[in-house]
Structure 1
């Protein structure tokens, strides 16, 4: 029990020490993982588990969308993109469409990479691990 508490505490500290940009990147990485897993599970005909993975990915996209500061024009564009991804994830879930999931995965990766680049530019010391 003591080790579990230590693990949880170190995990909490690691998350709290991340910049906002790094948190966004971690969220995209988790969405990516869930979409990949959903694709695999659909192919294995494990529909209930794939449904749960897609639901988790949708929850992440919703969290990203809710975190936007709508006073900036880029936020309006990201809002539209997140709504599109959310809707298409739902469509892929209903239709068990692995190709659509792969297409969405590509879009999620592009967004993640864009945020990684922005994080490097806005926080160069942190990006080098200093």
Structure 2
């Protein structure tokens, strides 16, 4: 229980940039778990983890500012849509390669995001925080 309280506090006080990083990290984590569950033929749990990753990708997609984001936001939207579709296919067909493909893409995005946050100094004003992001589960 203490871990959940700590995580909730982190989410509530994180900048939007940090929340994106946390979403990427959680998606990578649940996809690793999904791969292990599939190897163990635990299909119900596998489905739950892949569905959780799909929810995270949906959240990332919905958080894009298409007006201000320009080409980058458009490219990310296309990438998120592609990843979501690959997860659906991987889940239905129990295809670990599709899951690994998406996990690899998310790992790359995470590294690029971390580097961008360093360069930007992660200076997002606190009043621009977004609510409603659910990292639990």
Count the aligned residue pairs: 121
Give the aligned partner of residue 13 of structure 2: 17
Residues 76-100 of structure 1 deviation map (CA, whole Å, 9 limit, x = unaligned): 0000000000000000001111122
Give the aligned partner of residue 54 of structure 2: 58
Give the aligned partner of residue 105 of structure 1: 103
CA distance in 1, matches of 2:7, 2:104: 29
Q: TM-score, normalised on structure 1?
A: 0.85
* SS in structure 2 at match of 1:45: coil
1:98 and 1:67, CA in 2 relative to 1: closer, same or farther beyond 3 A?
same
Question: Per-residue deviation at 1:51?
Answer: 0.3
Q: TM-score, normalised on structure 2?
A: 0.81
* SS in structure 2 at match of 1:103: helix
Q: CA RMSD in A?
A: 1.9
CA distance in 2, matches of 1:58, 1:96: 15
Q: Identify which of structures 1 and 2 has the higher relative contact order when contacts are C-alpha pairs closer than 8 Å and 6+ apart.
A: 2
Give the aligned partner of residue 90 of structure 2: 92
Contact 2:17 2:122 (C-alpha < 8 Å) held by counterparts: no
Residues 38-73 of structure 1 deviation map (CA, whole Å, 9 limit, x = unaligned): 111111000010000000000000000000000222
Unpaired segments of 5 or more residues in structure 1? 126-130
CA distance in 1, matches of 2:7, 2:84: 28
